[in-house]
Structure 1
Amino acid sequence: MGDIIDLGHGVRAAVTERKGGVSRPPFDSLNLGLGTGDTREAVTANRARAAEDLGFGVERVVWMNQVHSADVLVATEPGGVGTCDGVVTTRPDLVLASMAADCLPVLAADGEAGVLGAAHSGRLGTAHGVAVNLVDTMVAQGARRDRITVFLGPAICGRCYEVPPDLQAETAARTPEAASTTRQGSTGVDMTAAVTAQLGRAGVGDVLADGRCTLESPELFSHRGDAPTGRFASFLWRE
């Protein structure tokens, strides 16, 4: 389990890792993702174990059915919020979760206003601005852009994320910072750089980043490195 990060005003964030669960290979072992091919029983047990280790009940968690969209929903109850790639809440007891295994988790909070948001920004979500939509939805729920703090979880880095030139161009069309060059000298995408730039242009300057590359960090799940594989979660909650 990763460290708990203090985002101020009682807001906490944390990223789970691979070990400490009950899933069998190739999902070993703390796989929190349904729809990966793992058993529902193992994933359910892992989710309960991860929540307990972080100090909250799993019954408080809001889960998204992530589909690489730019859609953001507002959660008023725990459990499945629906099909989206961003979720916002003003309920102080809810825990938001973003699942990933190379895509970029985005956790955002205006702790003073009590507005939390979480997003899953994969290549398509990054191209279509899901992080900006998340911020806009938070503002509509009472947050202020200049008070929002964002934590970007681990993701595949721009030196490892090789894509064909047309996909790089598509991703960088609205966000030039998305274009990267891989270690092999080929075209790539840097989702962390892209989302950081998007947030800055949206008026959010307080951005922290985990910094780890999922492909290069054996303690994290990586779809590109290990598929089929599990998913880790980035959680956001209020104490």
Structure 2
Amino acid sequence: MSGVEVIRAAALDGVPHGFLGRHGGVSTGVHAGLNVGIGSDDDPVAVAENRVLATRAVLPGAHLTTVYQVHGAEAVTVRMPLADRPHADALVTDRPGLALGILTADCAPVLLADVQAGVVGAAHAGWKGALAGVTDATVIAMTALGAEPARIVAAIGPAIARASYEVDDAFLRRFAAADPANERFFADGRAGHHRFDLEAYVAHRLAVSGVGRVEAMGLDTYADADRFYSYRRATHRGEPGYGRQIAIVGVG
């Protein structure tokens, strides 16, 4: 693998951040690259080294802080390095020296910042968490630290795209039950199936929560096997495991 690739969003210009893929790590085999997933079947030593490499590429000298992601809607406020990973799917902070990290392998990583208030956030938005309101919870937690929604900018990083995300009728009905207008995030597929636009739905939820600017980066984890890990792609290929990539943000 080449050096660590750090993908940055124009919306977060000036904010220490990065969406990382699989380039630049030390893992091998099906996890080859920058796998940062503690819960994967990868060598723990390699995972630990990859987490150091990822943090160094985005926020040198910062302490990487992550959560035990559960596909929920809880956001935790972090003021110091955490001894244990709380069960949550988003983090916010106003403290320098902390690198907030969110792990994904098709779900949407969302990085947020209010530069004026010096407040940042990171959210893991899979379909369950997105529907439950994980981005709403992140904005609320940032507001409690002094951020204002209209000043918040957000970027949605590499995630499974609509063209790659086939779901069934029952899946669509869950979203339609929450709001009939949600049907616009689904395109017709084969009989009894649809294509879900997770990125567009997350962008919608961010806008509704009052976020001033949202950048959807349009990077498909499923379609780009060289660049990103993908749970669904690994499943479809019958692979024995899969890696996780990380998105990181901190206070500048």
TM-score calculated relative to the size of structure 1? 0.92
Whether the aligned pair in 1 keeps the contact of 2:27 and 2:33 (CA below 8 Å) is yes
Match of residue 25 from structure 2: 21
- Give ranges in structure 2 of 5+ residues lacking alignment: 236-240
Q: 210, 214, 228: which is aligned to 1:220?
A: 228
How many Å separate the matches in 1 of 2:221 and 2:188?
Answer: 15
1:238 aligns with 2:244: no
Match of residue 77 from structure 1: 80
Structure with a larger share of its residues in strand:
1
Q: Secondary structure at the match of 1:238?
A: coil
Alignment RMSD: 1.9
Moved more, 108-117 or 177-186: 177-186
1:42-121 superposed matches below 5 A: 42-57=46-61, 60-79=63-82, 80-121=84-125
Alpha-carbon distance, 1:215 to partner: 0.7
Q: Secondary structure at the match of 1:82?
A: coil
TM-score calculated relative to the size of structure 2? 0.87
1:153 aligns with 2:157: yes
Cα distance, 1:30–1:8 mapped onto 2, change above 3 Å: closer
Q: Secondary structure at the match of 2:178?
A: coil
How many Å separate the matches in 1 of 2:90 and 2:163?
Answer: 26
User: What count of residue pairs does the alignment treat as equivalent?
Assistant: 238
How many Å separate the matches in 1 of 2:34 and 2:12?
Answer: 28
How many Å separate the matches in 1 of 2:108 and 2:23?
Answer: 20
- Whichever residue aligns with residue 180 of structure 1, its letter is F
Match of residue 35 from structure 2: 31
Once the two structures are superposed, residues 71-98 of structure 1 have per-residue CA deviations (whole angstroms, 9 ceiling, x without a partner) of 1111111244411001111112211111
Cα distance, 1:38–1:111 mapped onto 2, change above 3 Å: same
What is the aligned-residue identity percentage?
34
Structure 1 outlier segments of 4+, above 4 Å: 6-9, 182-185
Match of residue 192 from structure 1: 199
Match of residue 136 from structure 2: 132
Cα distance, 1:43–1:8 mapped onto 2, change above 3 Å: closer
Structure with a larger share of its residues in helix:
2
1:200-215 superposed matches below 5 A: 200-215=207-222
Q: Secondary structure at the match of 2:112?
A: strand
- Whichever residue aligns with residue 98 of structure 1, its letter is I
- Give ranges in structure 1 of 5+ residues lacking alignment: none
- Whichever residue aligns with residue 236 of structure 1, its letter is V
Cα distance, 1:10–1:134 mapped onto 2, change above 3 Å: same
